[in-house]
Amino acid sequence: MMLEVRGLAAGYAGGDVVHAVDFHVEAGEAVMIIGSNGAGKTTLFRSVIGLLTPSAGTVEFEGNDITGMAAHRVVRLGISFVPAERHLFPRMTVEENLALGAYPGRPDAETTSVVMDLFPRLAERRRQPAATMSGGEQQMLAMGRALMARPRLLVLDEPTTGLAPKLAAEAYQALGLLKEGGLTVLVAEQQVPLAMALSDRGYVLENGAIRKEGTSAELASDPDVRHAYLGVL
Amino acid sequence: MTAAIFDGIVIGLRFGLLAAGLTLVYGLGGVLLLAYGQVTVISAVVIIFAMDAGIPALPAVGLALVAGGFMGLVLDLTILRPVYRRHGEARVLLSLLLTLGVAFIVDGFLNWRYPLLGLTLRIGGGPIEIIGVRMPRGSVVASAIAIVAMVGLLSFFRWTTLGRAARSVIEDQEGARLVGIDPHRMLRLILVLSGVLAALVAATQAMVRLIDVRSGFELTVFALIVTVVGGLGSVTGALLAGIILGIIYAIALTYIGTSLSLIILLAAAAITIVIRPAGLLGVRE
């Protein structure tokens, strides 16, 4: 088991946003967590990767308990997180952003060329400050930076935020290639059709709790899911 | 005019060096270190005591650099701990109040125990001529040290993994955590570094003019002005602002006189901030 989350509850000063959430990710899988705005996807992910301390429950990564571990230590264990807001280093160049992804080491040539092959646009703009790039390019850079740490699990929070449909599809195309290469992927998404095409399994998060789970095919044929997330009446 | 501009650059380099430590600590950690000038003064006192004990000037300065770094570490481990538990404006305000308290205590103690201590480092030999302008040797040596220090500092932040990591915390703290950087450890490193810089200011300042136990607040105020004009968190900005303000100050000194030049300096700073609230090289939030 790559990631196992049990009974996780987390939130902010005003109270918990997610309650008693259970889910897991097997090695080599792509798993999606779908839900509308405010369902608690971001809070859930932040508490899994250590940007937020859970108020209850456990998180295990490859059999090790990482509940409440600080984010900077979690990433060194092999989980990279791409937040919806990207959190790039705006005045630093594409190259510097990528190099920092490999912190505390130096970027190795092999990983760099894998990232550049996946996102050729980054190679073209390597000396450009991150802030001057378009939304789509920034998303590629955020994903590239996350990959520089050579993670075994890549966690993405709504990678299509603010992207035009074509660029959103490109981002998922890249994720598809990474999955074929053996990377385990966990993604939260509102644009369900894209996530569904990528994922083996999925969970539906509503009001901070898991409402449904199943393979992508099962979820795609579920009338409630079709109605709420796939736009089918 | 050339002489005034040279003087300005000499003053400006000192301003820039003075502001570098302060701007880094603020940019990285949202901590306003108002005891910064006092770290410089204590470093000067260390040099005085070391030289009184028969230690030659150069190792005495080395000792002061170690002491400066140690003071940065002590601040990080003690008085700044409650500051780190707060965020945003509350953090800035608490750091301001607590370090101001430290500054008062240090000043009070030094004025009570050693009211007459003062440091000047005399650099032997006559003035040096640079493209027709005769400069006191002390100024030239102090400027050379400041240039080497600034180049070293900028190279560290630009080319080394550790320096880039420190910059990334200024750029986006959450992004830094996501790539595996511990912002608190980075801030500790920067506090030690800024303590060393404060000590270096003590040495270079003393080559040009007297530093006594009452110099602390003046140094902090100058560092603050340069920091704000340069843009919080930008070493390049601090250097640029330092040199621009230094030249304005020196020209005012030469052509208008001592009494008005400080007012002109402050007015130039105020105008810059009105036109560019984020400072010359700062980022708008």
For A103, left (φ over 0), alpha (ψ -120 to 50), or beta?
A: beta
Confidence grade of residue B87 (pLDDT, cut at 50, 70, 90):
confident
For residue A131, give the DSSP letter: G
Inter-chain CB pairs, A–B, below 8 Å:
72
Amino acid at site B271: I
pLDDT for residue B135: 87
C-alpha distance from A109 to closest chain B C-alpha (Å): 16
Domains in chain B: boundaries? 2-123+133-216
> Between A51, A83, A99, which is nearest B164 by CB?
A99
Q: What is the mean pLDDT of residues B50-59?
A: 95
For chain A, domains (ranges, CATH) are: 3-78+153-229 (3.40.50.300), 91-150 (no CATH)
Residue B283 scores a pLDDT above 70: no
Residue A52 scores a pLDDT above 70: yes
**A51 contacts in chain B (CB < 8 Å):** 174, 177-178
- Residues B181, B169 contacting (CB under 8 angstroms): yes
- Residues B207, B146 contacting (CB under 8 angstroms): no
pLDDT, tens digit (0-9, with 9 covering 90-100), for B106-146: 999 999 999 999 999 888 788 888 888 888 899 999 999 99
Q: Which residue has the tokens 């505390």?
A: A104
pLDDT, tens digit (0-9, with 9 covering 90-100), for B39-52: 999 999 999 999 99
A103·B182 Cβ contact <8 A = no
**A106 contacts in chain B (CB < 8 Å):** 161
Strand partners, A154: A80, A185
For the question of an ipTM over 0.90, the answer is yes
Residues 6+ apart with CB under 8 A from A97: A88, A89, A130, A141, A144, A145
Residue A212 in 3-state DSSP?
strand
Q: What is the mean pLDDT of residues A108-135?
A: 93
> Between A73, A75, A91, which is nearest B171 by CB?
A91
C-alpha distance from A142 to closest chain B C-alpha (Å): 9
Between vectors from CA B41 to CA B35 and to CA B45, what angle results, nearest 5°?
Answer: 140
Quote the longest CA-to-CA distance of chain B: 55
> Between B161, B174, B183, which is nearest A87 by CB?
B174
Amino acid at site A95: E
Burial A195-209 (b: 16+ CB within 10 A, else e): bbbbbbbbbbbbebb
> Between A83, A86, A149, which is nearest B180 by CB?
A149
A83·B168 Cβ contact <8 A = no
> Between A81, A105, A106, which is nearest B178 by CB?
A81
For residue A154, give the DSSP letter: E
B180·A51 Cβ contact <8 A = no
Written as six digits, the tokens of B119 are 């440091």
pLDDT, tens digit (0-9, with 9 covering 90-100), for A13-29: 888 999 999 999 999 99
- Test mutation, A75, A94, A103, A154, chain B, max B CBs within 10 A: A103
For residue A119, give the DSSP letter: -
A51·B168 Cβ contact <8 A = no
| pTM > 0.90 | no
- Residues B73, B195 contacting (CB under 8 angstroms): yes
Helix axes A135-148, A94-101, angle to 10 degrees: 30
**A91 contacts in chain B (CB < 8 Å):** 171, 283
Helix axes B235-255, B258-275, angle to 10 degrees: 140
Nearest-CA neighbor of A92 among B164, B235, B182, B237? B164
pLDDT, tens digit (0-9, with 9 covering 90-100), for A144-202: 999 999 999 999 999 998 899 999 999 999 999 999 999 999 999 998 999 999 999 99
* Chain A residue whose CA is closest to B175: A87
Q: What is the DSSP string of B28-40?
A: HH----TTHHHHH
pLDDT for residue B279: 84
| C-alpha span between A89 and A111 (Å, rounded) | 20
For residue A164, give the DSSP letter: -
- Test mutation, A53, A92, A94, A106, chain B, max B CBs within 10 A: A92
Q: What is the DSSP string of chain B?
A: -HHHHHHHHHHHHHHHHHHHHHHHHHHHH----TTHHHHHHHHHHHHHHHHHTT--HHHHHHHHHHHHHHHHHHHHHTTTHHHHT--THHHHHHHHHHHHHHHHHHHHHHHHH-TT-EE--PPPS--EEETTEEE-HHHHHHHHHHHHHHHHHHHHHHHSHHHHHHHHHHH-HHHHHHTT--HHHHHHHHHHHHHHHHHHHHHHHHHHS-EETT-HHHHHHHHHHHHHHH-TT-HHHHHHHHHHHHHHHHHHHHHT-HHHHHHHHHHHHHHHHHH-TT-SSPPP-
